Amino acid sequence: MGTKVARLAALPVCDPLVSGIPLHPRWVRFARRLPSIPKRRKPIRPAVFLDRDGTIIEQVHHLTDPADVRVIPGAAEAIRRLRSAGYACVLVTNQSVVGRGMLTVDGLEQVHAEMNRQLAAEGAALDGIYWCPVVPTTSDPTVVEHPDRKPGPGMLLRAAAELGLSRRRSWMVGDAASDLHAGVNAGCRGSILVGSGYGVALRTEGDAEYLVAKDLFDAGDTILGPEQA
Ligand SMILES: [Mg+2]
């Protein structure tokens, strides 16, 4: 299975806008412009928040064509096992291709329909899909430019509120540093870096606390490990 733990530099904590959530000052600045978070359902269910590209489907730079969608081997089985164990599986994906005008919302839905079709063919499904169209102006994976764009926690917070998820019992899995920081910023139990996309290169950056897994299947093993025993 091969996991390791390193220390992730937690972002500075400041006054929470949303009760109980430590927020980075940069996030607060943007959060004040947001409409209020929807009325919360009681947070009961744990979740695994999943990045899309390089985590569920193969990494394709600025993916716009459904024909390029390939679910990574083992990803569907991981999702199926996690849901069987009671975890909601929620996709949270930065999609600047929409903000850049390279893909319409309808086109993005077609990409997701193809992903869902491939997952369903292996008996898997997602509990929710959240995406953010914001185009970044920095490549720093720790800078929150917009609360919804990872490393901002906005998509995770909205999913938790809408789906009744317990963030403290949830995990974030992705192949980029921004995914790991989104998990930290959302107050998740932990973040797992997968090596199936950009993850391999990031392992050397290392000032951080996160688990490392080979791929989503391996990450699922890590999450379920103690509970399966
Ligand atoms: Mg990714």
Instruction: Calculate mean pLDDT across residues 73-102.
Output: 96
Compute the chain's Rg from CA coordinates. Answer: 16
| Phi, psi of 24, deg, nearest 5 | -75, 140
Is 127 catalytic? The answer is: no
| 174 Cα: distance to centroid of ligand 1 (angstroms) | 6
CA of 177 to the centre of ligand 1 (A): 9
Catalytic residue among 15, 53, 68, 140: 53
Is 51 a known active-site residue?
A: yes
Q: pLDDT band at residue 36, thresholds of 50, 70 and 90?
A: low
Cα 54 to ligand 1 centroid, rounded to whole Å:
5
**pTM higher than the cut 0.85:** no
C-alpha 154 chain-centroid distance:
11
Closest to 147 (Cα-Cα) out of 35, 57, 46: 35
pLDDT for the residue numbered 140: 87
Tell me the per-residue pLDDT of 105-130, one tens digit each, with 9 for 90 and over. Answer: 999 999 999 999 999 999 999 999 99
Which pLDDT belongs to residue 44?
86
Give the pLDDT score at 211: 86
Question: Could you read off the pLDDT of 178-217 as tens digits, one per residue?
Answer: 999 999 999 999 899 998 766 554 454 444 578 889 999 9
Write phi, then psi, for 206 (nearest 5 degrees): 15, 50
Which CATH superfamily, name and number, covers 5-228? HAD superfamily/HAD-like (3.40.50.1000)
- pLDDT of 12 strictly over 60: no
Tokens of 175: 């192949």
